[in-house]
Amino acid sequence: MEQEQFVDMLKAEGYAGPVSVTREPGGMLDSHVHPFEAKALILDGEIRIGTGNGARTYRRGEIFHLQANEAHTESYGPQGVRYLVGRRQ
């Protein structure tokens, strides 16, 4: 998906305007939760998200979606990752 389409989709679904996030190459976050629902479009690099349903790697043009308070881990590829994320309460 392209960035403009993603931003339009977020607006239509009631998400707050997107925030750009950049994570360092090879980094990771242990299991944690967010008090908001998140939907993100990968712009560059890759991120691996692990949840109770397994793990998946997301790359440029792909979208990941996490429910509020959904426990997950994150790890970033060799080039790191840059993504746009919308948040919804």
pTM summary value? 0.94
Q: What is the pLDDT of residue 63?
A: 98
The owner of tokens 């509020």 is: 68
Q: What is the pLDDT of residues 25-82, one digit of tens each?
A: 999 999 999 999 999 999 999 999 999 999 999 999 999 999 999 999 999 999 999 9
Number of H helices, E strands in the chain: 1, 6
pLDDT of residue 64: 98
Predicted confidence at residue 17, as pLDDT, reads 86
Number of domains making up the chain = 1
CATH of the domain at 12: 2.60.120.10
In degrees and rounded to multiples of 5, residue 71 shows phi and psi of -65, 135
